[in-house]
Amino acid sequence: MRIGLFGFPRTGKSTLFSLLTGAAPPHAGGREEARIGIARVPDPRLDRLSAMYRPRKTTPATVEYVDIHGVAKGEAAEAFPLDQLRVADALAHVVRGFRDEAVPHVEGPVDPARDVATMETELVLADHTIAERRIEKLDLSVRKAHRDDDRKELDLLRKCLQALERDVPLRNLEFSEEETRRLRGFTFLSLKPLLVVVNADEADASLLAGGAPAFGLEAATARPSTEVVCLSARIEGEIAQLEADEASAFRAELGIAEPALERMIRASYRLLGCISFFTVGDDECRAWTIHRGTRARPAAGAVHSDMERGFIRAELVAYDDLVAAGSWAACRDHGTLRLEGKDYVVRDGDVINFRFGV
């Protein structure tokens, strides 16, 4: 799972990136290069399994974040640092929520709703340029060759263009499975699921507790494939440096119920429809990320391509059952251990041993 952080300059993208990935802050001054970092997904279930198996290695699921330099209004169609964002599964728009005279905001007064709308238009304009160019080419080739495939693509892109002309992001449209497949190659930005991250001041604890509506973003939460997270990147970055109990005392004092990393990751999983399953053993306990609805065979492929190719069956037990029983063998005795075939739809928290032969 890869998530691209973007937004206006000085909204706290790099501060958030450091908080999520533990990366050192970028050098001050100069145009920053895009950076990729990895966040370990906190999951108490994996900790519990690890305590049970005492494996040599415990490996959490990971999420990749990309930190790019700030984007200005009007840059989208041409100079938008698109390549880094195009390969992302979702985009996270880091929105200025903190007021600080020492850090001027290019868009003027702090107004999250305005910035969300402005940046959305930038994404729409970038996609518009791409759709228009492709339509021009397709139009010519359809006239010449009358290929059915081109015809279908042309119709689809016209549907997209119509929406984009009305400033409607593509994620608001409904597409059939076939259309979704056809659209994949275009990597349209306004089609990607959107996480709006409001970076507010720690002094605004009451606003933060109020969530999206407190920042005038209640409308955004109702949009398709959109999630809103409100946090305070700088203070949470500082808290993350503390010892665990000191950190939770500090969070309690500020009224922060859940650390920013947890909230970002949870929102990302929800947004992308992802779940986790586990593999366990003396060697390694590990969490894996898949899309909800994935069947056992492709889920095995997340672990190893040999397991998918030579898939025989999945031996599995629900996390709660395993913890309650205390061991794999006890699950077998209790009858909670199940054998499932390749078409079984994997559930969040399944602990799986894939049987395979190659």
Ligand X SMILES: Nc1nc2c(ncn2[C@@H]2O[C@H](COP(=O)(O)OP(=O)(O)O)[C@@H](O)[C@H]2O)c(=O)[nH]1
Choosing from 201, 238, 284, 315, the residue that interacts with ligand X (CB under 6 A) is 201
Question: Counting contacts by CB under 6 A, is residue 66 touching ligand X?
Answer: no
Type of residue found at 157:
L
Binds ligand X by CB under 6 A, chosen from 14, 50, 276, 294 = 14
Instruction: Give residues 230-269 in contact with ligand X (rule: CB under 6 A).
Output: 232-234
The yes or no reply on residue 100 touching ligand X (CB under 6 A) is yes
**Spatial distance between the Cα atoms of 299 and 291, rounded to a whole number of angstroms:** 9
One residue of 98, 215, 277, 278 binding ligand X per CB under 6 A? 98
Smallest distance, ligand X to C-beta of residue 8, A? 7
Contact between 110 and 203 under an 8 Å Cβ cutoff? The reply is no
Q: Mapping DSSP to helix (H, G, I), strand (E, B) and coil, where does residue 230 land? A: strand
Question: Which residue's CB is nearer to ligand X, number 199 or number 279?
Answer: 199
Distances (CA, A) of 186 to 100, 129, 181, 183: 39, 11, 10, 6
Q: What DSSP string describes 142-161?
A: HHHH--HHHHHHHHHHHHHH
Q: Which residue, judged by CB position, is nearest to Mg ion in the bound state?
A: 14
- Judged by the rule CB under 5 A, the positions of this chain that interact with Mg ion are 13-14
Distance (Å, whole) CA 87 – CA 264 = 19
Task: Report what 193 binds from Mg ion, ligand X, none; CB cut-off 5-8 Å by kind.
Answer: none
Q: Between 9 and 81, whose beta carbon lies closer to ligand X? A: 9
Strand partners, 227: 195
> What residues are paired with 286 via a beta bridge?
59, 279
Q: How far is the CB of 12 from ligand X (least distance, A)?
A: 3
State in angstroms the smallest separation of the CB of 233 from ligand X: 5
Q: What single-letter amino acid sits at 69?
A: H
Residues that bind ligand X (CB under 6 A): 7, 9-15, 70, 98, 100, 103, 199, 201, 232-234
